[in-house]
Amino acid sequence: MRSLLVEVRSSAFGLAGRVSTVLASARGRPVGDPPAVAPPGAEEESCGAPAESLGLDPVRARNWQSWLHALGQDAGPVDGQLSIRSWTAAQRAFRFEHDALDGIVGPRTVAGLQLHLTYWGGYRLVPDGIAGAATRGAFWDFNTPPPE
């Protein structure tokens, strides 16, 4: 999780602008502010639903959920089980538009993750929306707990 976790609150807004600009230019339309709450009904259908973990084990998934909470997003319980709710929180952190918050780990979510990992972790990922070996490896590494 790096020492950046302490600086998340002060730096998160710089990332948000950068990611939203890239995502907006990819879609060809401006990006508005993300909603303060999930879409109506999203809470009920997404709390415990399993979702794609992109290869993370429960320890690293807990780190990702904690990271999202540190960014001010409600990723649900920090239980090591990535759910639709966890990925909806990630999409909010990536500054997706309200109508794009679906919690599905598709190409747009993966591209947002690639930009996020490039910005916060220094990984040189191409935001192509493909969750290949480099993206999965960077996501694993980014969420590896520090040695004790």
Closest CA to 65 of 77, 54, 53, 56: 77
Mean pLDDT by 10 residues, the chain (148 residues): 37 39 36 36 41 91 96 94 94 87 92 95 95 96 91
Say what the alpha-carbon torsion angle 11, 15, 17, 22 is, to the nearest 10 degrees: 170
Angle formed at CA 62 by CA 59 and CA 66, multiple of 5 degrees = 140
Task: Give me the pLDDT at residue 26, please.
Answer: 38
Q: Is 93 left (phi over 0), alpha (psi -120 to 50) or beta?
A: alpha
What are the residue ranges spanned by the domains of the chain? 4-33+41-142
